């Protein structure tokens, strides 16, 4: 029996003044899956990712989280994002005025419960514990993305949203980052990411292909080999 979806969209459309970014999108995102969104530039990938991540809502159609309709009120959606979501961005989105540890605990501080010990434990798992008191300018690109992943995990979210998480990384470091995300999915987190690179599909359970704001295909990925390596230091 299939699990209940974490996120579901039905007939979702997103209209802007002169552009229809998404049109009649129906999709369910399940707990513990690694979902990749692909498509050419302008296909609606980022709009769909933002909608799944509750950063945006449909102009028409429905968007639900755990079977409940997502509120249109931004403050209520912000509360849901803080509770359910963690975000990883292509440009890392780290604050240069804070050191690594303070960047990691930032979402938990916003939630009113700063978790320094949890941050240290996550950093240890990701191999960046020796960088906790370094400034962001003192660490490598791969380490910055691991800091971003640690920050995304600090509130123990059910869903990790990753927008081109390897876009600013070399291929070796990018592979390590995707390996971490795959391991998170294997541990029960839901991971949704946008990528242009077909080589990344080996990490996914399903891939959604978009074109002109519409889903063209949803394909199951058969991962024959599930080799697991401990992430190296980038």
C-alpha 21/C-alpha 26 separation (Å) is 14
pLDDT the model gives residue 61: 96
Query: What confidence tier does 234 reach under pLDDT thresholds 50, 70, 90?
Result: very low
Cβ–Cβ < 8 Å for 104, 122 = yes
Per-residue pLDDT at 223: 59
**Per-residue model confidence (pLDDT) at position 227:** 40
Mean pLDDT (the chain) is: 91
**Mind listing the domains of the chain with CATH numbers?**
7-95+141-220 (3.40.50.300)
How far, rounded to the nearest angstrom, does the alpha carbon of residue 42 sit from its chain's CA centroid? 20
Q: In what order do the strands lie in the sheet with 206-211?
A: 85-89, 159-163, 190-194, 34-38, 206-211, 214-220
> What does the pLDDT look like over 32-70, one tens digit per residue?
999 999 999 999 999 999 999 999 999 999 999 999 999
CB 90 within 8 A of CB 163: yes
1 pLDDT band (50/70/90 cuts)? low
* pLDDT level of residue 105 (50, 70, 90 thresholds): very high
Q: What is the DSSP letter of 72?
A: S
Residue 229 pLDDT exceeds 60:
no
Q: What's the CA gap between 161 and 192, in Å, rounded?
A: 5
Contact 101, 70 (CB under 8 A): no
The three-state (H, E, C) secondary structure of 137-194, written as one string:
HHCCHHHHHHHHHHHHHCCCCCEEEEECCCCCCCHHHHHHHHHHHHHHHHCCCEEEEE
Residue that wins the pLDDT comparison between 82 and 104: 104
Q: In the predicted model, what is the mean pLDDT of residues 183-193?
A: 95
Instruction: Give pLDDT tens digits for 198-227.
Output: 999 999 999 999 999 999 999 998 754 444
| pTM for the whole structure | 0.88
Nearest residue to 37 via CA among 82, 4, 60, 7: 7
Q: What confidence category does residue 135 fall into, taking pLDDT thresholds of 50, 70 and 90? A: very high
- Inter-residue contact 181 to 193 (CB < 8 Å): yes
């Amino acid at each position: 029996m299939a699990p209940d979806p974490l996120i579901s969209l039905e007939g979702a459309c997103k209209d802007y003044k002169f552009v229809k970014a998404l049109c009649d999108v129906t999709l369910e995102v399940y707990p513990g899956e690694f979902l990749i969104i692909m498509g050419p530039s302008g296909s609606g990938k980022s709009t769909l990712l933002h909608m799944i991540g509750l950063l945006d809502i449909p102009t028409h159609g429905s968007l639900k989280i755990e079977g409940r309709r997502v509120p249109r009120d931004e403050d209520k959606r912000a509360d849901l994002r803080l509770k359910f979501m963690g975000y990883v961005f292509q440009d890392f989105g780290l604050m240069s005025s804070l050191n690594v540890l303070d960047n990691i605990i930032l979402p938990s501080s916003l939630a009113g419960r700063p978790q320094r010990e949890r941050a240290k434990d996550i950093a240890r798992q990701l191999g960046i514990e020796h960088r906790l008191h370094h400034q962001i300018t003192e660490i490598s690109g791969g380490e910055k993305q691991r800091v971003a992943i640690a920050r995304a995990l600090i509130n123990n979210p059910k869903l990790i949203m990753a927008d081109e998480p390897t876009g600013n990384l070399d291929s070796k470091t990018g592979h390590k980052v995707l390996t971490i995300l795959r391991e998170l999915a294997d541990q029960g987190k839901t991971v949704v990411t946008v990528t242009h690179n077909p080589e990344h599909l080996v990490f996914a359970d399903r891939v959604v292909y978009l074109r002109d704001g519409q889903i063209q295909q949803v394909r199951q990925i058969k991962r024959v080999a599930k080799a697991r390596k401990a992430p190296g230091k980038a």
